[in-house]
Structure 1
Amino acid sequence: MYRVTIGGGIVAIDHLDGRLIVLLAREPRIGVLEASRRLGVARGTVQARLDRLQSNGAIRGFGPDVDPAALGYPVTAFATLEIKQGQGADVR
């Protein structure tokens, strides 16, 4: 059993949870039945694990993982800026 901090809380996951998370990361569109076959457990076990992992925040969604470069945006940048109070006019 492993304890992982997620969103300020501690979530306990075991080896099967870990294998399920890895499988979903590699193949987010996999169905519950196929996941159960690959993991060698019952379909209900996979569904229960998914429900628990979603409810405790370990899995946040199953949306598409978009490649910005394929859409014509080859560079992604994040920037932060700290401005001392009262000196905003000096920043250009």
Structure 2
Amino acid sequence: MLTVKLLGEMQVLRDTAPLALPQPWKTRALLGYLVVTGRSPRRERLCTLLWDVPDDPHGALRWSLSKLRMLVDEPSRAAASGRNRRSGMATGNPLLQHR
């Protein structure tokens, strides 16, 4: 089971083992936002929320999503999703819970 702890210092646990979090704070913020909202917002919304800069916000979002997928996905079941220009966490997944 994947557990995301958001109160205090953010932690991601697979069963009881802590996982190394990606360093950029925006990637961690993205994980927290996707878990707490339980929605799959449009990618444009996420770019505006976290990467509203003249660089390449869509590229930064893709990079962060790839890091989160490596962190939370399991070989048998994907917890992170990205399709139809939306991105989210499979919060209905019984293997994912947040505290």
Scaled by the length of structure 1, the TM-score of the pair is 0.50
Higher helix share: 1
Scaled by the length of structure 2, the TM-score of the pair is 0.47
User: Which is greater in Rg?
Assistant: 1
